[in-house]
Amino acid sequence: MPDQQDVASLYAKASTRRALWKAAIKWPMYSVAVMPALLAAGWRVGAGEAVRLDQLLGFLVAAVLLLLWENLSNDLFDADTGVDSFTKLHSVVALLGQRRPVRRFAHLALVLGLLLMLLLALRSSAAVLFLVLVSCGLGYLYQGPPFRWGYIGLGEPLCWLAFGPFATAAALLALAPLNGDGSVIPWATAFTLGSGPALATTLVLFCSHFHQVAEDAAFGKRSPVVRLGTARAAALVPWILSLVFALEWIPVLQGDWPLTALLGGLGLPAGAALVRLLRHHHDQPEKIRGSKFLALRFQALNGLGLSLGLALAPCLGFALSSAG
């Protein structure tokens, strides 16, 4: 029998269902998937290395497929626990009214994404596939049974690890020149390059909890916002934004990155708007439902600005040290 969520979504009027499907597809969210590759490409250009466009395109497509798997799987896992029965009418499970096709499509996206990553690894370094598998494993730990670490408040650190050092290192290796040493994982560069943007990605997940605190608490999902309360969680957001910029601007101050890397500041207006919204309406779910999209705008503009700024390094006569 369909639950209340299924009935509300499956039998909604056509205009409502179109809006729900648009929310379910949530294409802006895929900026978090492509950012590690774009950052790696910006770094490579800044280091005077040629970017292997076929590898870049393949990595972007594979990353989108793997995030699609994660998003569909999370819909399935949430349907199993019932945590989103009243707040997530745009769940794909709810819109289709059944789980089997969602499960099949999720598995197809996973297989295709991993096969494409395998191809990229064969053309660069075996470590690429290893790093991507670790990232996928971290994604599964977030919502997947029997772990469901997101329910004990560990979703944010898992997100940072997956989209930070692991995904960034994989992208750096995949785009590296064919004559590079693919056996050495560029951890130092991956941490320096990926830490700030990955924290911006983590902020998107953090902000997605504000509008459903009561429901999460009722179903035993102890997200950081549930643990802190909306007021203290909202007060934490400016510090997270400051840390993002600190991680990205310290290399500039140390002379390791060009001044153009400060273009990551393009995300500042969206970040400021997010702080204002949460400061005034943190405990009003209907008014802050879009807070994660402001966080997403910050993440996208910040990451794109940083990528472009690094790529512009040679124009200033500045040479980044090659990642390896």
Q: For residue 5, is it within any domain?
A: no
Q: Residue 220: which domain range?
A: 33-316
Q: Which of 72, 163, 75, 158 is nearest to 110 (CA)?
A: 72
Query: How sure is the predictor about 11, in pLDDT bands with cuts at 50, 70 and 90?
Result: very low
Q: For residue 321, is it within any domain?
A: no
Helices (H), 47-90: 53-81
For residue 101, say if its preceding peptide bond is cis, omega within 30 degrees of 0: no
Query: Largest Cα–Cα distance in the chain?
Result: 66
Higher pLDDT among residues 180 and 210, named by residue: 210
Q: For residue 11, is it within any domain?
A: no
Q: For residue 108, is it within any domain?
A: yes
The SS3 call for residue 73 is helix
Distances (CA, A) of 132 to 171, 172, 234, 268: 9, 12, 32, 30
Q: What is the DSSP letter of 231?
A: H
Which tens digit of pLDDT belongs to each residue from 238-295? 999 999 999 999 999 998 999 999 999 999 999 999 999 999 998 888 888 889 899 9
Structural domain count, the chain:
1
Its pTM stands at 0.89
Q: For residue 71, is it within any domain?
A: yes
From CA 193, how far away is CA 247, in angstroms rounded? 9
Q: For residue 4, is it within any domain?
A: no
Q: For residue 49, is it within any domain?
A: yes
Say yes or no to pLDDT of 6 above 80: no
What per-residue string of b and e applies to 66-84 under the rule 16 or more CB within 10 Å gives b? bbbbbbbbbbbbbbeeebb
Q: For residue 22, is it within any domain?
A: no
